[in-house]
Amino acid sequence: MIYVLLSVCCSVLVGVLIKIARKRSVDVQQMVLWNYPTTVALTYFLFRPEIGVLQEVTLPYLYYLPLAIMLPCLFIFIALAVRYSGIVKTDVAQRMSLFIPLIASFVLFNEAVQVRKIIGILIGVVAVICSVSWRNHEDKPNSKNIYPFIVFIGMGFIDILFKQVAQYKNIPYTTSMFLVFVGAMIFAFMILLYFSWTNRQRWDKDAILWGLFLGLFNFANIYYYMRAHRAISDNPSIVFTAMNVGVIVLGSLVGVFVFKEKLTLLNKIGLLLAVISIILIAYL
């Protein structure tokens, strides 16, 4: 379970770094886009993707291209969600996106319907609504709290696409990951060039350094999660449950006690329902 713990810590640290960087006046939008060179380099050197196999197969561009575009765009929305809604609500939105691919598996891929999973999904919907409050500290509607919902939807569709990539057996999954990250890096640089051209925005040296460092934890989250599944291959539901519940719990503790984020009673109920939903979906 040490790999699960490391993955949980790295996942939460991504939000923590974004929060700290913003307080230090780092351009967070540039920062999150600069994480991809580190992710690409680490994927190449640690996973050793089989590039040669690409000459013999047809690439599933239908999955690769949307992932390459959505990953950097969603990272920007994650940064906005952390800024305006806090680490707690952003982590819940990311983790509860798991039931979007579950719904897709029932509707699109004809998976057998299981009552406990349907109950878990319904509880999860309520959990997201309760956790991601639509009000600010003055108890007034806050339109910027839409960002966690965008993260919630975006992460769900990314999960569906990654599952489709994993099922494409002609290319090793680690090679597919490498290609997706390379595509995401290229698109991220296109976004950076667009910002520079349209807004006369210079590249922030601090954002580059913070972004490269952020990429280390972003990759480590994925790396240790995969190692955990290999170490406990006979019971993946334990890894799945521990990872998602762990991020929600640790993210909540860090958000409340370190960054003094305020949670309403409704938010706290949402956190509890989120944990119950994950356990119903994955473990019972």
If we measure between CA atoms, which residue out of 189, 158, 226 comes closest to residue 34?
A: 189
Confidence at 135, pLDDT banded by 50, 70, 90: low
Percent of the chain past pLDDT 90, that is, above it, reads 52
142 against 77, higher pLDDT = 77
pLDDT, one tens digit per residue, over 178-203 is: 999 999 999 999 999 988 888 777 88
Mean pLDDT of the chain: 87
Would the pLDDT of 37 be above 90? yes
Confidence at 278, pLDDT banded by 50, 70, 90: confident
Say how far apart CA 101 and CA 45 lie, in whole Å.
Answer: 30
The predicted pLDDT at position 284 comes to 53
Mean pLDDT of 152-162: 91
Confidence at 283, pLDDT banded by 50, 70, 90: low
pTM: 0.89
Which neighbouring-strand residues pair with 135? 141
pLDDT, one tens digit per residue, over 83-128 is: 998 999 999 999 888 888 878 877 776 667 778 878 888 888 888 8
What is the token pair recorded at 65?
A: 């291209």
8 Å CB contact between 160 and 103 = no
